[in-house]
Amino acid sequence: MNVEVLIYSYMAICASMIVFNCVCVFVFKRREKKLDHRNSALAIQMQKEVEEIHSGRSVSEKHRRYLQKKLRYTGNLLTFDETIGVLQTEYPEETEQYLLQNRSVFIYLTLEFEGKSRMKEAYLAYLLEKYKLSANMPIDMISNAMLSLLKEKSLYCRENALHVLYSTGNAENVVKAIKVLDRNGEFHHGKLLCDGLLTFTGDHGQLIGMIWSQMEEFSKDMKATLLNYIRFKSGGYETEMMSLMKDEKQDDEVRFACIRYFGKYHYPPALPFLLKFCGMEDENRWEYAAIAVETLYLYPGDETTEMLKKSLYSSNWYVRYNAAQSLVRMGFTYSDLADIFTGNDRYASEILEYMLEHKDIYEEERKKESDAI
Amino acid sequence: MMDGIKFFLKCVECFFVIYLIGYSSFLFLSVCVGSSSLYNAKRKEKMKNVLLHDYYVPVTIVVPAYNEEITVVDTVKSLLCLEYKLFEIIVVDDGSKDHTSDEMIKAFDMHLIKRPIHKSVDCQPEEFVYETTLQKVPLTLIRKKNGGKADALNMGINAARYPYFICMDADSVLQYDSLEKIVRPVLEDDTVVAVGGAVRPSNNVELAYGRVRKYNLPKNIIACMQVLEYDRSFLASRILFDKFNGTLIISGAFGLFKKETVIAAGGYDHGTMGEDMELVVKLHQFCRSNAIPYSIRYATDAICWTQAPEKLGDLMKQRKRWHLGLFQTLWKHKTLMTDPKYGVVGFVSYVYFLVYELLSPFIEVFGVLTMILAFFVDLINIPFMLLFFGIYAVFGAVLSITAFLARIHTIDLKVSFKDTMKALSLCLFEISVLRFILAFVRLTAFIGYRKKKLNWGRIERKKINWN
């Protein structure tokens, strides 16, 4: 190849990059101005309508048509969101009315955006949730659009759609959504789902009841997530948890979630099983022991103390750590545990000494804090 | 004889044409991909295509410190300002000769405690442990026998209570939202084992409680040129590598790792100066060898502000250390290139670092020597050579400025007209002068390299202005 050709190509690339940078600077400056202009046009119209509501009138059909036309564009959607924020501080009640009276615009937009721009769909879902626009709307229309968003690859689409469904307060739709997510196969972090379910605005009892009745239809990961949600929300499901915990065919993570449940809610019939798990220390099942030992502080008694002391001598670090923590949480003192300190196991006495010291320091620091107050 | 020289020069010419086409194409591609990713990310953020979640994954921040009495307290104070719900801070004093530990104990009213530490990865023994729960999050200080930065980080991993840990430098400041941003990839994908953050020079930047109060380019020219260099490197090439899971470097100044995988891979290597790069390469090798699905990501919006060296001597020391670290890592993991099971990481990322990073100073010096030879045998076209250098410098400078502008446009920072002009004028100087100085430094990095085995690579420290 002729080297000159190469040189000229690089010169051309340099020139095009310089042009690109100049265009970018220009476009960004212009877009800012343009957005301001659009802001003012749309914002003025919106403010006018809110003022109309303030003086006792309703949103006009013309304004609805105007919004339908304008809000199809990203920039205007952003403007709408910003303007509502401003109006909410000036006219809170009127703005709420304005949003209520314009819900039909959002139904139109939901259908308009479906399958076209995922980013816009996700943003619309965000707006629906933020301004509670989906409340009292024809559930099928919104929920169908949101359920279809749940099949998307984009996590943000799915999350925003889920939040709309949580905010509708309809348990049936939420269970449907969980099933769609579960079958979809896209990874959706259990923490996001669990925390999201906790924000559900409807009847949690009804939702949990529906989840229990269909529990076996969910995958093992989903089951564990749902059990964690139930643990955070309610203490009335001991029998169901117990039967899952005992079922050896269940996945380890599912059984771990059940064991943790009994570490939050005291249920004496679970104790024999928890003690049995504490004894499971083989290399592949040490997590059973580590988690069960952590729950035992809720079940004081000789048998528990004996098991916790025994667990202090475990070869597994986490079992020892959790056993020491449980003993200290149960209120045992240095003198109560003298046999451990005078024993031959350095690891057992070290971890126990640390937990006791940590507790003393913690209490001392809290005292210092309250004295300072 | 003359024919032989002519043939040799022809071969060299061909080699350099291929070499430069490769390099410039890579630079061009990386700046284009990087810029478009940033613009896209900004659009997503605007349209709330982000996680709006205020409860995240629990994280341990490990701060390795050696003779950091000037900065360590302010670093920890800045960490306590982070807007994140669940984290702990572990400062590991690697046998400092100054009062690093004393400053920590005094400033945070810490208590001596006999804490046993589970040694999952090798490290020197601890001398004492202090803890406090008086702060917003649990704070631990571990003083250990000196063993180097990697050893201190391993101690931090051993003491970490949470499943993910962040490594950072004791002279850096994390932006208020950096934890939230660096954790996001973990919530998006459960195979993520490491996430790199974006490191930016903090010289002359006014920070208040982890927030940028005023952004200015550094007054010092050397630091200013590093801003451009960091932009090109972090915003361009790292984004490109991220696209195909080929990231080989996560800066030691700010990176998040999955503790379980790091422990399984053996933790940080004590015997290398580039422990940060070595760990990432090791994670690639470990996961691919064991057929573990994994990904190593780069979070462009997770920002760490760090002090860039302002003296040429300090910069040279730093780059020498980096180059030796690069050599040690590539040498240790040479099978990455020869074994096809490592795929794109081996034949793209590894080859790039080998040819354009490790060997580039040698290749560049070889090129200069060839020019001298060509000059003596009168086979050089001087005007053409000057034109070639000119184009090369302008090309590099234009890409640097593109990366710089992409950052400015996509991150809500305001840069004054004066600073923009400064960046424009320095980008050419950086590519045509500083780059050659640093190439010389890298070339001579191997002189006396064994002596520096456990060196912490000191540069002059300044007090961090965190509020």
* Cα dihedral across residues B277, B278, B283, B285: positive or negative: positive
Selected residues 64-103 of chain A with any CB under 8 Å from a CB in chain B: 74, 77-78
Residues in chain B with CB shorter than 8 Å from the CB of A20 are 402
Residues in Cβ contact with B127 at an 8 Å cutoff, skipping those fewer than 6 apart: B95, B143, B144, B145
pLDDT per residue over B11-46, tens digit each? 998 898 888 888 888 888 888 888 888 888 888 888
Q: Residue B428: what pLDDT? A: 85
Per-residue confidence at B196, pLDDT binned at 50, 70, 90? very high
Nearest neighbour of A119 by CB, restricted to B49, B388, B392: B49
Q: Residue B462: what pLDDT? A: 63
DSSP B309: P
For chain A, the distance separating the N- and C-terminal CA atoms, rounded to the nearest angstrom, is 80
In terms of CA atoms, which chain A residue is nearest residue B392?
A: A10
Q: Residue A351: what pLDDT? A: 95
In terms of CA atoms, which chain A residue is nearest residue B58?
A: A191
d(CA B104, CA B109): 8
The verdict on a CB contact (< 8 Å) between A317 and B118 is yes
The verdict on a CB contact (< 8 Å) between A353 and B398 is no
Q: Residue A200: what pLDDT? A: 93
The verdict on a CB contact (< 8 Å) between A350 and B113 is no
Whether chain A has a CB inside 8 Å of the CB on B21: the answer is yes
Q: Residue A135: what pLDDT? A: 66
In terms of CA atoms, which chain B residue is nearest residue A126?
A: B48
The verdict on a CB contact (< 8 Å) between A350 and B17 is no
In terms of CA atoms, which chain B residue is nearest residue A27?
A: B409
Selected residues 166-205 of chain B with any CB under 8 Å from a CB in chain A: 186-190
What ipTM is given for this predicted complex?
0.85
pLDDT per residue over B95-134, tens digit each? 999 999 999 999 999 999 999 999 999 999 999 999 999 9
The verdict on a CB contact (< 8 Å) between A157 and B49 is yes
pLDDT per residue over B312-329, tens digit each? 999 998 898 899 999 999
Residue by residue, DSSP assigns B400-462 as HHHHHHHHHHHTT----HHHHHHHHHHHHHIIIIIHHHHHHHHHTTTTT-GGGTT--------
User: Under DSSP, is residue B213 helix (H, G, I), strand (E, B) or coil?
Assistant: strand
Q: Which of B20, B46, B49 to mutate to test the interface with A (most CBs of A within 10 A)?
A: B49
d(CA B357, CA B319): 12
Is B451's pLDDT higher than 60?
A: no
Q: Residue B191: what pLDDT? A: 95
Chain B closest CA to A268's CA: distance in Å? 30
d(CA A262, CA A273): 11
In terms of CA atoms, which chain A residue is nearest residue B134?
A: A365
The verdict on a CB contact (< 8 Å) between A357 and B28 is no
Q: Which two tokens stand for residue A168?
A: 């509708």
The verdict on a CB contact (< 8 Å) between B405 and A25 is yes
d(CA B315, CA B459): 8
What value does the mean pLDDT take over residues B303-308?
90
Selected residues 292-351 of chain A with any CB under 8 Å from a CB in chain B: 317, 321, 347, 350-351
Is B409's pLDDT higher than 90?
A: no
Cα of A132 vs its chain's centroid, Å: 18
Nearest neighbour of B187 by CB, restricted to A14, A157, A191: A191
Q: Residue B272: what pLDDT? A: 86
Whether chain B has a CB inside 8 Å of the CB on A359: the answer is no
Residues in chain B with CB shorter than 8 Å from the CB of A156 are 44, 48-51
Residues in chain B with CB shorter than 8 Å from the CB of A192 are 51, 53, 187
Nearest neighbour of B49 by CB, restricted to A13, A154, A347: A154
pLDDT per residue over B244-270, tens digit each? 999 999 999 999 999 999 999 999 998
- Tokens 């080998």 locate to B354
Whether chain B has a CB inside 8 Å of the CB on A25: the answer is yes
The verdict on a CB contact (< 8 Å) between B47 and A7 is no
- Tokens 């100044």 locate to B253
Q: Residue B111: what pLDDT? A: 94
Whether chain B has a CB inside 8 Å of the CB on A6: the answer is yes
Positions of chain A with pLDDT under 50: none
Chain A closest CA to B232's CA: distance in Å? 14
**Please, are residues A146 and A181 in contact by the beta-carbon 8 Å criterion?**
no
Whether chain A has a CB inside 8 Å of the CB on B260: the answer is no
Whether chain A has a CB inside 8 Å of the CB on B331: the answer is no
Q: Which of B398, B413, B415 to mutate to test the interface with A (most CBs of A within 10 A)?
A: B398
Closest to A161 in 3D by CA, of A213, A211, A111, A196: A196
Whether chain A has a CB inside 8 Å of the CB on B3: the answer is no
Whether chain B has a CB inside 8 Å of the CB on A31: the answer is no
The region of weakest confidence among A196-205, B71-80, B203-212 is B203-212
Residue pairs spanning A and B at CB distance below 8 A:
116
What value does the mean pLDDT take over residues B76-80?
93
Beta bridge mates, B214:
B206
Whether chain B has a CB inside 8 Å of the CB on A286: the answer is no
Residues in chain A with CB shorter than 8 Å from the CB of B44 are 119, 156
pLDDT per residue over B265-282, tens digit each? 999 998 888 899 999 999
Nearest neighbour of B391 by CB, restricted to A11, A123, A157: A11
In terms of CA atoms, which chain B residue is nearest residue A31?
A: B409
Whether chain A has a CB inside 8 Å of the CB on B311: the answer is no
The verdict on a CB contact (< 8 Å) between A21 and B132 is no
At B298, which helix (H) or strand (E)? strand B295-306
Residues in chain A with CB shorter than 8 Å from the CB of B405 are 21, 24-25
Chain A closest CA to B102's CA: distance in Å? 19
The verdict on a CB contact (< 8 Å) between A10 and B24 is yes
The region of weakest confidence among B27-36, B279-288, B303-312 is B27-36
Residues in chain B with CB shorter than 8 Å from the CB of A1 are 17
The verdict on a CB contact (< 8 Å) between A28 and B113 is no
Closest to B79 in 3D by CA, of B207, B259, B186: B207
Q: Residue A1: what pLDDT? A: 54
Q: Residue A147: what pLDDT? A: 86
Q: Residue B55: what pLDDT? A: 65
DSSP B156: H
Residues in Cβ contact with B461 at an 8 Å cutoff, skipping those fewer than 6 apart: B68, B70, B71, B171, B307
Chain B closest CA to A7's CA: distance in Å? 7
Phi, psi of A337 (to 5 degrees): -110, 25
Residue by residue, DSSP assigns A87-141 as HHHH-HHHHHHHHHHTHHHHHHHHHHHTTT-HHHHHHHHHHHHHTTTTTTS-HHH
Q: Which two tokens stand for residue B427?
A: 């980008």
Chain B closest CA to A359's CA: distance in Å? 11
